[in-house]
Structure 1
Amino acid sequence: MRLWRHLTWPAWRDQPGRVLLAIVAVMLGVALAFGVHLLNGAALTEFARAARGVNGQPDLVLRAPSGPLTDADLAELLNRPEVAAANPVVEAMAVWPGQTGRDGRVLPIRLIGLDPMALLAAANNGRPMAAELTPQVDGGLMGLLGANLVHLNAAARNHLPPDATTLTLRLVQPGSTEPRDIELQVGGRIAAGSAPLGVLDIADAQALFGRLGALDRIDVQLMPGVDAATWAKSLPARWKAAPPADEGERLSDLTRAYRVNLGLLALMALFTGSFLVYAVLSLATAQRLPQWALVGVLGVSAGMRWRLILVEGLVIGAIGTALGLALGVGLAAGALKLLGSDLGLHGASGSSTDLLLGQPLLLPALAYAVLGLAAALLAALAPAVTVRRIAPALVLKGLGLPAGRTLPAWVGLGLLALGAALAWLPPVWDGTPVAAYLSMLCLLTGGLALVPALVRGLGAALARLPAGALLLLARERSRDQATEARRSLAGVLVALALAVAMTVMIGSFRESLSRWLDDALPADLYARSALRGADGMPAPLPPALIDKLARLPEIARTAPQRTARLRLAPGADAVALTARDVDAGGLPLLDRWTGPAAAGAVAVWVNEAARDRDRLVPGRVFQAELIDSGRVVKLQVQGIWRDYSRQSTALWVALPDYRRISGDPSTTEMALWLAPGSSLDAARAAIKRLAGDDIETAAAGELRTLSLQLFDRSFAITLWLQAVALAVGLFGVIASQSAQALARKREFGLLRHLGLSRRALMRLLLLEASLTGGAGALAGLALGLGLSVVLVYVVNPQSFHWSMELSLPVGRLAALVGLAFAAAVGASLLAGRRALAADAVRAVREDS
């Protein structure tokens, strides 16, 4: 350690900027990766907290596979000896007239009816089922018994005047399309939920909601010693029981693809940062080469020299990792305060400190610390091997670094072939494209292995140009030092390839989304009820209102639509079903069924998620249950359509077919085309005169703009991570070129002694830098395009079930490639100018 301190500390003291650059590279990589991990965990922690507040702490949640439960189900459940307590729950969605949310629309509020006696019994047994829903009033749980008394959470009370004692809400009762106003007395406070929420006594809720005798679910607590999973399997088929944690797992499944892709992209910054550490250590090795040779002559073994360089990399990695972990926590906390903890949840209620500390930190911190140290050690490995391989006597004579070892070109070609083969493998772990990411890694390493061959090929192309001394020197160096070109360009090549790949993927996605919105939003204006059913689905529009909309002079044409749900198997989760007057040829179809139609089957079109997850391929005939009517229908898949609005299964059916098989004539949405000369403002004003706040409208242009804004917001962090990785790579090539120029100081002195002027040597450096920088830029562009193909055609379809067409943003790609080329050439020229500042005679004297 004393020897390492004597050899390393002077270099660190004289060149603190380069050492700081290496530490910052590790720090940024660890901070970004750890911060993204904490943000992902905070989002899931907040959702789980909200789910526990609403669902309470039962062992199981009991529902009916189809339709509601009844009071008779509750009585039968309570007679089972395994049941310790059961809390019936009924829910509804209402709107708050006169109050608007952040989107400017009428404020929705969720209403929950609970049995206070069941909650009190569970609390007395020491196992509270819904402590967060207990109102803070003098009567405690019994305070729920007041007639038409509603207890509100903080999100709802923010819209309530301080002295208000009553509030009026509007909802639609089952079987009706006309809204009804209900007046409630304001009670105590509840702590659950980040969206507006109200809690009532279940008897009042059933009467107000028009659902006497009906229950949405029953929260069940079992006797001690009863296994929940075993007991759930013993239930009759008309009941379905599942742990309440399934809600949190559902969000985890929904967002896993986004979180995994974001986390891996953050790790790319650490990956490119390791090349910067390599460049800095290479520079330090070049500067201290005479010292390493001297200590070698004095008896320090090659193995000891190798270990000393690794220790230097370990120290850099340890400092950078420690700072990166602290910075990662700070970045996550700042992002929580600025953007919120949600991945589309909007409006987290917990503080950033609570959300960060509410998840395990020790093991993730240790994992990312190991990654940071491993990246630094791997970066130090090549300089360590170089120092180990030097011949001390030759180095003291000024013969410089030993020749680098070059991998055969077939190794690079083999890695490229392996990467192409891995891209064809299916995803694992619930749709995670592990093989695709391994494919990208093989493509990157294969491209790096082929850089020497590319440099030699470009050097050979120079032979066709008119011969000259400078051209001959540049060509010979490109042949002899091709391996050094690979090392110096490794960081910028990886960063450029990733930047090109992400630029092409994001550009292709945005262009495909823009075209899809044109197809999915053919009308000028869209209208739907502001009211919601108990399941959160839009309430049907009153038939009288539909007729009035069609007769408005501002409206030329209308098209009704029905949003419903169905189950693909008994007891399965509900999936979306859209019924509308659709010409199948106008859908954004990816595949269609050209065979015969199945007898008695209704034609449906499914999205890519249905094809991938539920195997609903064109031509398949299957049965499904319409949830609203309970009817089982026979369906046949007629085609696959592109759906960027969701990652879950969704189906489309012609509206006349839906009404025939369901017996449901209702309409939930209307597509409206403006009459010639009419304006959107005039049409909206006319609609508001008809329906007031009970109907929501959105123009196609607004929906398009909002969708693209959400897209840009979703990929903002991606672009930022991409910029950080590219900046780290550019710093790496600057440091690498500086290392090579300093290592050639004596060579430049000899050339000047032989008669070459400084201007001629600068032209030589320009030729060499253009050769290597051009090779790096071309290789980075080619690799980036290859990676983009994997991202567009493999990663996105496997992760999100979204396919797209490849679109090349030529201007942005040219800017990226030009920036990388300019950085390589500029760094080489600046470093060479510094190396040429030494006097030629002095440089030759050092060489003698």
Structure 2
Amino acid sequence: MTSLWRHLTWPTWRDQPGRVVLAVIAVMLGVALAFGVHLLNGAALTEFARAARSVNGQPDLVLRARSGPLTDADFIALLQQPEVAAANPVLQGQAVWRGKTGADERPLLIRITGADVLALLASAGGARPLAPDLLPQVDGGGPGALLGARTLHLNAAARRHLAEGQTTLTLRIAVPGDPTPRDVEFAVGGRIAAGNAPLALLDIADAQQLLGRLGALDRIDVQLADGVDARAWAARQPAHWRAEPPADEGERLSDMTRAYRVNLGLLALMALFTGSFLVYAVLSLATAQRQPQWALVGVLGVSARMRWRLILIEGAAIGVVGTALGLALGVGLAAGALKLLGSDLGLHGEGGSSVGLLFNQPLLGPGLAYGALGLVAALAAALAPALTVRRIAPALVLKGLGLPAGRTLPAWVGLGLLALGAALATLPPLDGTPVAAYLSMFVLLIGGMALVPALVRGLAALLARLPSGALLLLARERSRDQATEARRSLAGVLVALALAVAMTVMIGSFRASLMQWLDHALPADLYVRSSLRGPDGLPAPLAPAYLQAVDQLPAIARSAPQRSTRVRLAPGAEPVSLTARPLDEGGLPLLQRWQGERAPGALAVWVNEAGRDQNGLQPGRVLTVELVDSGRRVSVQVMGVWRDYSRQSAALWMALADYRAASGDERITELALWLHPGQPLDAARQAVRAAAAQAEDIDTAAAGELRALSLNIFDRSFAITVWLQAVALAVGLFGVIASQSAQALARKREFGLLRHLGLSRRALMKLLLVEASLTGGAGALAGLGLGLGLSAVLVFVVNPQSFHWSMEMHLPVARLAVLVGLAFAAAVGASLLAGRRALGADAVRAVREDA
């Protein structure tokens, strides 16, 4: 076996190493991208969970109120229970830090966490500390330094914004119920290890006073005595308490980002899938070049099974080398991304090396899995050339009769696969992942490739209607007899073109739908909100005096106030977004409307697609919700479903007048402003900011800026898909070039025979042009048709099931024409170039030697 490989394979690889290197690179890139994406996702989830545990600690239970906040009285009642070993009250809010110095002069949003520092210090000496990363580390001063009045203990992400030697800082805070924000000066205390984003720890009493929430608590972290059953203890607590185990933040983020991670992983595997066709093209070309050698060793006694095994060994060798390099490159790519972006992947302030995160997750199992994928892809690509070599008749090949005709699947098999793919696309997602839709796309690709021979024969039959001639007769008969070979030679470009068309249509449809949605969502000229944040992280309310001042500005034609708040869909449930503003139903981007009767006493609300799909808020449904700010419970009815590209979680709209009547809340958090015709935008923006007590408290954005920002984010998000399209298409084009070269080399003696029979070189080139046009046209048409089918699955199934975003299909005709024309030109050009080489003097000499 080794001797045969050395004499049959090594000379080809030695003389033409470029093709082997390309095949190895194709496998390497596919494995590297898939494995690197997996490692990067795993590192991000691991770090997020670690950061969440460092901030929240690891209590046995987390106590919250079923409605409204907890109070100090709840904390005292909790401490009186003998089963409670330790408890830490927590209050959270946000503030703006304006007094920092340095190159970045933009205000910094910093998270404030109020906690019982004494409780943290007491638990630190035990076997199960409540939140060790929240416990401040103070240089000197002893424990008393932890309890200084108005002292902030900062984490590393916040400390990097301190100037050298800075010992105080000033925070600007919006206090609930007070229309005027206030500045508060704090002393800089110790260091805390918790969190990646800027975080400040404050004693709970100071936090309650600072945030204007005296006596209020967001939660209490509870640690029970040894031997106490947490579930039984929670069941005995008062009805207004809700005691639950701490949430697994890593699992929660995993659920939230599953759709992104699955889609990104499948995009990476697309490179491996198309790379397998490049391996197929390389091995097919090498097989065609060694056709006489394979025939000779067959005559000398090498069995068909042995020849088959040798080709598979070549594919395995390419797969092993490419996989090994791909796994190493995948680790390098993930390490480079973490080195560049930091442990939080660039989401927050603190960067730095986080390469160690890669090794805090399982590596052996995923490495073996992705390595097996690379090896299987290479072996699958080698299977067709191996079967071809196994089926050759050595004596006939030595006579110059070429490779045997491939086996053709009946057309009904391809049609059946297309029907099966369409049926799979109608199935619901599995645990939020469109598994059936992705399987549908794969089945559609296989079905389309199975129909290529029938399509080639159909195009060849059209030649019969043209004036008959020797060249057309030869082209027609050749195309009909070798239709299966056309399927093999066009497989790579067919898959690459179909995927490129599908992604082009999907991205174009998404972008066009996003632009239409932005026109609905941003009808005004200027948008205004506070730069401060409330305790819930939402924009702080705008002062009534400021609202009046803006309405009186000469440049403002009219304004539309808006209130952003939160609502609970069920008692104790996590709050979801609620937007209250003047609503004109005709202007809403509605997808569904309730056509039935209006429920008496219920307020009208409209929900986004995520609320309909994830929370069952179908049009017409009546439910009772809790307004988080006021604690009031209100009966509402879903009157319609609206398109929302800004969220993947549930969100509700309500008329501002209905919200005010139900809640008694008159506060406004945002303004939409329309200018008088001819008013300059910049001057109006300055006037709007100047109307505030402090211009820095106001954020403004023009509609055009928000549109441009949204589209820029969209384009950056899909940049990797565009790059992968280019890679896949390049791989497919090279595959068809190599395949056509293989077929031309295999027909060298056939061309020589036709030359002896009187056909000129020019006539043979015309023959090749006709044949290439038939096969290239079939491949281009099949790729376009398959791509449109795949794009329909992406647009109408994958996106709604993955992200709860529906859209209309838009066909970018010019781009599609370029893609199809490029694929057709590559197929025809490759065939002509390969034929020109095969029609040289060697072809005539081959016939003479055979004679």
Q: TM-score, normalised by structure 1?
A: 0.97
Distance 1:761 1:40, change over 3 A: same
Q: Give the match for residue 781 of structure 2.
A: 778
- What is the DSSP-based 3-state SS (H/G/I as helix, E as strand, rest coil) of the residue aligned with 2:163? coil
Query: Does residue 146 in structure 1 map to residue 148 in structure 2?
Result: yes
> How far apart, in 2, do the equivalents of 1:101 and 1:226 lie?
52
> How far apart, in 1, do the equivalents of 2:107 and 2:691 lie?
16
Question: Cα distance, 1:225 vs. partner?
Answer: 4.9
- Whether the 8 Å contact between 1:100 and 1:107 is mirrored in structure 2 is no
Distance 1:71 1:27, change over 3 A: same
Distance 1:547 1:48, change over 3 A: same
> How far apart, in 2, do the equivalents of 1:110 and 1:631 lie?
28
> How far apart, in 2, do the equivalents of 1:189 and 1:265 lie?
42
Q: Give the match for residue 546 of structure 1.
A: 547
Range 722-731 or range 520-529, more displaced? 722-731
- Whether the 8 Å contact between 1:116 and 1:141 is mirrored in structure 2 is no
> How far apart, in 1, do the equivalents of 2:801 and 2:102 lie?
35
- Whether the 8 Å contact between 2:733 and 2:826 is mirrored in structure 1 is yes
Q: Give the match for residue 761 of structure 1.
A: 764
Residue deviations 1:146-188, cap 9 Å, x none? 1111112232223322122211111122322221221111112
Query: Does residue 826 in structure 1 map to residue 829 in structure 2?
Result: yes
- What is the DSSP-based 3-state SS (H/G/I as helix, E as strand, rest coil) of the residue aligned with 2:449? helix
> How far apart, in 1, do the equivalents of 2:101 and 2:68 lie?
32
Distance 1:99 1:681, change over 3 A: farther
Range 466-475 or range 204-213, more displaced? 204-213
Range 28-37 or range 217-226, more displaced? 217-226
Residue deviations 1:395-438, cap 9 Å, x none? 22222211100000000000000011111111111x11111111
> How far apart, in 2, do the equivalents of 1:341 and 1:507 lie?
33
- What is the DSSP-based 3-state SS (H/G/I as helix, E as strand, rest coil) of the residue aligned with 1:363? helix
Distance 1:257 1:101, change over 3 A: farther
- Whether the 8 Å contact between 2:99 and 2:170 is mirrored in structure 1 is no
> How far apart, in 2, do the equivalents of 1:102 and 1:252 lie?
36
Amino acid at match of 1:129: L
The count of corresponding residues between Structure 1 and Structure 2 is: 847
Distance 1:818 1:512, change over 3 A: same
> How far apart, in 1, do the equivalents of 2:264 and 2:577 lie?
27
- Whether the 8 Å contact between 2:513 and 2:808 is mirrored in structure 1 is yes
The unaligned stretches of length 5 or more in structure 2 are none
Question: Cα distance, 1:695 vs. partner?
Answer: 1.5
Range 7-16 or range 480-489, more displaced? 7-16
Q: Give the match for residue 634 of structure 2.
A: 633
Q: Give the match for residue 388 of structure 2.
A: 386
| 1:49-448 correspondence to structure 2 within 5 Å | 49-98=50-99, 106-137=107-138, 138-139=140-141, 142-226=144-228, 228=230, 231-232=233-234, 235-338=237-340, 345-347=347-349, 349=351, 351-429=353-431, 431-448=432-449
Query: Does residue 603 in structure 1 map to residue 616 in structure 2?
Result: no
> How far apart, in 2, do the equivalents of 1:847 and 1:446 lie?
41
Residue deviations 1:214-254, cap 9 Å, x none? 11112223344555556545544423334444333222222
- Whether the 8 Å contact between 2:590 and 2:642 is mirrored in structure 1 is yes
- Whether the 8 Å contact between 1:119 and 1:141 is mirrored in structure 2 is no
Distance 1:242 1:287, change over 3 A: farther
Amino acid at match of 1:311: I
Range 69-78 or range 335-344, more displaced? 335-344
Distance 1:226 1:469, change over 3 A: farther
Question: Cα distance, 1:344 vs. partner?
Answer: 8.4
Question: Cα distance, 1:76 vs. partner?
Answer: 3.0
> How far apart, in 2, do the equivalents of 1:480 and 1:370 lie?
37
- Whether the 8 Å contact between 2:340 and 2:351 is mirrored in structure 1 is no
Residue deviations 1:588-645, cap 9 Å, x none? 0111112211100001111111111111111111111111111111101111111011
> How far apart, in 1, do the equivalents of 2:770 and 2:243 lie?
73
Question: Cα distance, 1:323 vs. partner?
Answer: 0.8
- What is the DSSP-based 3-state SS (H/G/I as helix, E as strand, rest coil) of the residue aligned with 1:839? helix
Amino acid at match of 2:273: F
Amino acid at match of 2:542: L
> How far apart, in 2, do the equivalents of 1:231 and 1:380 lie?
63
Residue deviations 1:48-97, cap 9 Å, x none? 23212321233333222221112222233334444332211111111123
Q: Give the match for residue 21 of structure 2.
A: 20
Q: Give the match for residue 749 of structure 2.
A: 746
- Whether the 8 Å contact between 1:153 and 1:192 is mirrored in structure 2 is yes
- What is the DSSP-based 3-state SS (H/G/I as helix, E as strand, rest coil) of the residue aligned with 2:691? helix
> How far apart, in 2, do the equivalents of 1:516 and 1:817 lie?
30
Query: Does residue 795 in structure 1 map to residue 794 in structure 2?
Result: no
Range 342-351 or range 357-366, more displaced? 342-351
Q: Give the match for residue 493 of structure 1.
A: 494
> How far apart, in 1, do the equivalents of 2:141 and 2:194 lie?
19
Amino acid at match of 1:792: V
Distance 1:568 1:840, change over 3 A: closer
Distance 1:335 1:649, change over 3 A: same
Query: Does residue 577 in structure 1 map to residue 574 in structure 2?
Result: no
Q: Give the match for residue 693 of structure 1.
A: 696
Q: Give the match for residue 48 of structure 2.
A: 47
Question: Cα distance, 1:374 vs. partner?
Answer: 0.6
- What is the DSSP-based 3-state SS (H/G/I as helix, E as strand, rest coil) of the residue aligned with 2:635? strand
- Whether the 8 Å contact between 1:557 and 1:674 is mirrored in structure 2 is yes
| 1:457-472 correspondence to structure 2 within 5 Å | 457-472=458-473
Distance 1:241 1:742, change over 3 A: farther
> How far apart, in 1, do the equivalents of 2:382 and 2:237 lie?
62
- Whether the 8 Å contact between 1:46 and 1:348 is mirrored in structure 2 is no
Distance 1:109 1:840, change over 3 A: closer
> How far apart, in 2, do the equivalents of 1:100 and 1:689 lie?
24
> How far apart, in 1, do the equivalents of 2:825 and 2:307 lie?
36
- Whether the 8 Å contact between 2:67 and 2:572 is mirrored in structure 1 is yes
| 1:649-728 correspondence to structure 2 within 5 Å | 649-691=650-692, 692-728=695-731
Distance 1:514 1:439, change over 3 A: same
| 1:523-538 correspondence to structure 2 within 5 Å | 523-538=524-539
> How far apart, in 2, do the equivalents of 1:305 and 1:229 lie?
67
Range 167-176 or range 45-54, more displaced? 45-54
Question: Cα distance, 1:350 vs. partner?
Answer: 5.0
- Whether the 8 Å contact between 2:101 and 2:163 is mirrored in structure 1 is no
Question: Cα distance, 1:348 vs. partner?
Answer: 5.6
- Whether the 8 Å contact between 2:341 and 2:352 is mirrored in structure 1 is no
Question: Cα distance, 1:712 vs. partner?
Answer: 0.7
Question: Cα distance, 1:536 vs. partner?
Answer: 0.6
Distance 1:101 1:685, change over 3 A: farther
> How far apart, in 2, do the equivalents of 1:573 and 1:249 lie?
16
Range 290-299 or range 450-459, more displaced? 290-299
How large is the Cα RMSD of the aligned pairs?
2.0
- Whether the 8 Å contact between 2:338 and 2:345 is mirrored in structure 1 is no
Amino acid at match of 2:597: P
- Whether the 8 Å contact between 1:144 and 1:200 is mirrored in structure 2 is no
- Whether the 8 Å contact between 2:337 and 2:345 is mirrored in structure 1 is no
Amino acid at match of 1:39: L
Amino acid at match of 2:18: G
- Whether the 8 Å contact between 2:316 and 2:379 is mirrored in structure 1 is yes
- Whether the 8 Å contact between 2:342 and 2:353 is mirrored in structure 1 is no
Distance 1:104 1:233, change over 3 A: farther
Distance 1:102 1:591, change over 3 A: farther
> How far apart, in 2, do the equivalents of 1:763 and 1:361 lie?
56
